[in-house]
Amino acid sequence: MRPTTTSPWRTIPLTDAGTDAQPRPHGQTEPYDKGNGYSHIAFTVDDLEGTVARLQEGGVKLTVEPKTMAVDGHDYRIAFVEDPDGYRVELVERGTMKVGDMIQ
């Protein structure tokens, strides 16, 4: 996809997967309500607390404080921030998220 602007910022197009060919995840029937965090983008970061602190210093709203979650007996660290449009963005500390047999 070719950028449509000369801005140094790049856009990641996200779609509402709500068609017969591609239903919404986990059986969600309602359209995605921005900010509910149901479907969201996530980024891995090297230092979760440091990243959150820097983002907050820059005026980014923190919606979920850094915390440890557990899935299948494996702990991982996450936080959520809100983008300028009100969408939640997940931050995952690198080296803590387990996907299958791989730790990311």
- Total tally of structural domains belonging to the chain: 1
89 burial class (0-12, 13-18, 19+ CB within 10 angstroms)?
middle
- Position 3 scores a pLDDT of 45
- Of 30, 65, 82, 90, catalytic: 90
Is 28 inside any structural domain?
no
| 13-20 long-range contacts, CB within 8 A, separation 24+ | 14/41
What's the distance, CA 85 to chain centroid? Answer: 14
CATH of the domain at 79: 3.10.180.10
Is 15 inside any structural domain?
no
Is 49 inside any structural domain?
yes
Ranges of beta strands (E only) in the chain are 41-45, 61-71, 74-82, 88-93, 98-99, 102-103
Domain that holds residue 40: 34-99
Would you call 30 a catalytic residue per the annotation?
no
The string of pLDDT tens digits covering residues 46-100 is 999 999 999 999 999 999 999 998 877 778 899 999 988 888 899 999 877 666 6
